[in-house]
Amino acid sequence: MLKIVNIVGARPNFMKIAPIVREMRRRENDFQPLIVHTGQHYDQAMSDSFFNDLGIPKPDFHLEVGSASHAVQTAKIMTAFEPVVLEEKPDWVLVVGDVNSTIACALVCAKLGIKVAHVEAGLRSRDRTMPEEINRLLTDQISDLLLTTSQDADENLKDEGITHDKIRFVGNVMIDSLFYSLKLAESSTVREDLNLNKKDYAVLTLHRPSNVDEKQTFSGLLEALCKISEKLPVIFPAHPRTLSRIAEFGFTERIESSNIKLIEPLGYLDFMRLYSGAKLVLTDSGGLQEETTALSIPCLTLRENTERPITIEMGTNVLVGTNSEKIKQTAFEVLARKADSKDKKIPPLWDGRTAERICDILFEMK
């Protein structure tokens, strides 16, 4: 039996780890899965809601590191995680995504000679000013097994000198969570609570420091969003960081006088129910680019680059950057376009069975 320590630290990790842990628990004779929650995402209520919505067991270890600078947070995770590894002596530690918890736990294992599997390996934005890009690059260099979501990720790893025997193209485990949870999300009343009709509204997420910490950039984005909201309401579940910047920059009145509706952050199922009924999604998130691709929902990515180019190749995602005119023009073009089922393309292996393939590979490599 393989003892696997699964690392979660921030909300995107929960969606990626949930199907893997479910599959490991189903194969109870083959796997002993443990969950370590680093506490990098320090909002306990939101963490609990994601665990409940996704059906993830309570963590076996909670490191409670909380918020801090990148250096301090990474160091705190490493210091708290090392005793867990020494105590449990796992066969593998499985890390997901690109947050500080990912690189911190991978580093601890690399020093102790514990094998690391990285889920969502090989994604590249080519922008080293993004902390996540540094985390991706370094985690992939010290991992023993690189589990990729798309074939362009395989090529990125090979170009960086990773040997072929370490790379496995398994598909996108986020889509496992999506397909598993769509039916569950039908019980959410979030659309009714907000008086929304399906395909009659847009959804916005905005949290990246490059977008919300610079007043001029944020102001330009807001100008475009206010114009878009004249065509249809824009529902904006606002990240606490973003809310504080809105107040700091004096943007509250602009938003309140528009058709942008600020709401509190939502749990996983409520948010899924919200965006799955949207006519348009605008985001600077990574995961939403993938989920909207799988659901064939038009998505405008408010960034200058993306580590998920396959979502653009599939035709559902458009990279619009932060230029106000480009955002407005593209949004209006998308809203005027009639949906065509022939345009719907789903990337290879985004089929809801990625967790099965990951567990198969781990068991084969025992």
| Catalytic residue, candidates 37, 41, 207, 239 | 207
Phi, psi of 94 (to 5 degrees): -105, 120
User: Is 118 a residue of the active site?
Assistant: no
Alpha carbon distance 65, 99 (integer Å) = 14
Alpha carbon distance 282, 301 (integer Å) = 6
Alpha carbon distance 317, 301 (integer Å) = 7
Alpha carbon distance 135, 127 (integer Å) = 12
Of 99, 174, 95, 160, nearest in space to 132 by CA: 99
Classify 118 as helix, strand or coil. Answer: strand
Residue 203 contacts residue 294 (beta carbons within 8 Å): no
Alpha carbon distance 63, 348 (integer Å) = 36
Q: Which residues contact 44 (CB under 8 A, 6 or more apart)?
A: none
Of 261, 268, 78, nearest in space to 177 by CA: 268
Of 209, 290, 196, 289, nearest in space to 236 by CA: 196
Alpha carbon distance 364, 119 (integer Å) = 17
Q: How far is CA 91 from CA 86, 105, 144, in A?
A: 12, 14, 12
Classify 32 as helix, strand or coil. Answer: strand
Alpha carbon distance 347, 352 (integer Å) = 12
Strands (DSSP E) contained in 97-144 are 115-121
How many CB atoms lie under 10 A from the CB of residue 126? 10
Reading across the β-sheet that carries 317-319, which strands appear in turn? 260-263, 234-237, 202-205, 280-283, 299-301, 317-319
Residues with a known catalytic role:
207
